[in-house]
Homo-oligomer: A and B are copies of this chain.
Amino acid sequence: MNPNNQNKMYKWANDLFPICRSITGEGVRKTLNYCKNLHPEILIKKFHSGEKVFDWVIPDEWNIKDAYVSKLNGEKIIDFKNNNLHIVSYSIPINKIVSKKELLEHIHTRHDIPDAIPYITSYYSKDWGFCISENFKKTITENEYKVVIESSLKKGEMNYGECLIQGKSKKEIVFSTYICHPSMANNELSGIVVSLSLIENLKNSDNYYSYRFLFLPETIGSIAYISKNLKNLKKNTLCGFVLTCMGNKNNFSYMPSRTGNTYTDKVILHCLNKYGGSFKSYSFLDRGSDERQFCSPLVDLPFASIMKSKYKEYKEYHTSLDNMSFLDSNALSESRDILLKCIYIIENNFFPKLKLFCEPMLSKRNLYPKFGGAIKSDKTKLIKNLIAYSDGKLDLIDLCELFDVDFTEICKTSNVLVENNLLSKKLI
């Protein structure tokens, strides 16, 4: 592991943390521009407000300059500039004196976590509101308050980022993450910075598969993207990963695809079983991220997730407690590394098939001398097992589980046999 990279991911998250993101607006563009500065390969694209995407319509663009609640004496008691979670996302503009009662009707708290500011949105019903801690709510005792929200809702754009790292094959591995969450770190800056680190790892590599990274507003963004790119996604997606909640200290979690038996599930389960320590498997019944769109029955793409703590399963989720001190450099690295392991396996996996009738004569090919000393017997055993089982129906993942050897080992050895013209390669 490269300690530099760890620092990078954490640093990137730290830079992006203060920006007030939503599903549209300046915050999204700032975020995307930051990413594009790191990787010019990322293209910033857009949908227009009012555009129809499947069953949905792209909403107006929302921007916000300022928002606060003040006592009538001018003292600001809630100030958006202190924490952009204070404002309900997509709040309409307002500027008036309201009674305590009316104000409280627009105040959101979390009774169960009295010191946390909750994260609330109101994308599709015109409303306004402020989010504060339950503790602070007790200090709202005046009869009247001034409420100011300097926001705008206008025809505009919904932006997203897309980065294709072209490999030899048109078959793609797709990674999708969100850019719509305001100041929260694990959900969802972790997905963005892990994506950036994967791009860094892949963009100068000699990849067999193509890699596509999507930086989308959640739900409406993935729906819009799928509506525009369904044909290509259906034709070329070999594996898909939703990147979310990858940055807190915890064991790994696994969210399967709808059917749980796609190639993505197979790769993830192999990786987690071999390298993931003790991890928690969820059911697709527990889904809650963009796999809801990618795995939707008619879309039916092979998307699954590796997370640290799953969304909804940790206390800090969707509150101000999901902040930079909740984020952990090591956790980000572990998440990125397990995905690199998945990528390594996807790049190298194939269905080996013995090209000869009966066992080949290994000694005349000098296959043995290549492996010296004490390791020899294991290598020889692996060669013989590969020859015995390479019937073209089992891939290297199946075989390394059957033989109980590491994928790296089987990969090297099977390639030696391919070079010696003993095995043919059938790709997945």
CB distance from A242 to the nearest CB of B (A): 14
Given the interface contacts A124-B363, A284-B388, A285-B403, does A296 sit within 8 Å of B258 by beta carbon? Answer: no
Contact status A299-B358, CB under 8 Å: yes
A sample of 11 cross-chain residue pairs with beta-carbon separation below 8 angstroms, ordered by A number, consists of A55-B359, A56-B358, A125-B363, A223-B358, A223-B359, A292-B388, A296-B358, A297-B389, A297-B392, A298-B357, A300-B391
Count of chain A residues with Cβ under 8 Å from any Cβ of B?
A: 42
**A308–B80 CA distance with the chains assembled, in angstroms:** 69
**A222–B357 CA distance with the chains assembled, in angstroms:** 11
CB contact between A358 and one of B124, B293, B363 (< 8 Å): that residue: B293
The answer, yes or no, to whether A353 is at the interface (CB within 8 Å) is yes
CB distance from A115 to the nearest CB of B (A): 25
The answer, yes or no, to whether A77 is at the interface (CB within 8 Å) is no
Contacts of A226 in B (CB 8 A): 357-358
Which 9 residue pairs spanning A and B have beta carbons closest together? A297-B391, A55-B360, A223-B358, A297-B354, A293-B358, A298-B357, A296-B358, A54-B357, A55-B361
**A299–B388 CA distance with the chains assembled, in angstroms:** 11
**A297–B424 CA distance with the chains assembled, in angstroms:** 12
Contact status A56-B293, CB under 8 Å: no
Contact status B402-A357, CB under 8 Å: no
The answer, yes or no, to whether A219 is at the interface (CB within 8 Å) is yes
**A356–B258 CA distance with the chains assembled, in angstroms:** 16
**A389–B285 CA distance with the chains assembled, in angstroms:** 9
Contact status A219-B359, CB under 8 Å: yes
CB contact between A298 and one of B297, B356, B402 (< 8 Å): that residue: B356
Contact status B357-A296, CB under 8 Å: yes
The answer, yes or no, to whether A340 is at the interface (CB within 8 Å) is no
A 280-300 to B, binary, CB cutoff 8 A, 1 in contact else 0? 000011010000110111111
Contact status B357-A227, CB under 8 Å: yes
The answer, yes or no, to whether A390 is at the interface (CB within 8 Å) is yes
Contact status B402-A285, CB under 8 Å: yes
CB distance from A199 to the nearest CB of B (A): 26
Contact status B54-A299, CB under 8 Å: no
Contacts of A227 in B (CB 8 A): 357-358
**A403–B286 CA distance with the chains assembled, in angstroms:** 11
CB contact between A296 and one of B56, B230, B359 (< 8 Å): that residue: B359
Contacts of A7 in B (CB 8 A): none
The answer, yes or no, to whether A385 is at the interface (CB within 8 Å) is yes
**A89–B391 CA distance with the chains assembled, in angstroms:** 34
Q: Residue of B at shortest CB range from A423? A: B297
**A295–B287 CA distance with the chains assembled, in angstroms:** 43
A 388-404 to B, binary, CB cutoff 8 A, 1 in contact else 0? 11111000000000110
Instruction: List 6 other contacts, CB 8 Å, given A285-B402, A296-B357.
Output: A227-B357, A285-B403, A292-B388, A293-B358, A296-B358, A297-B353
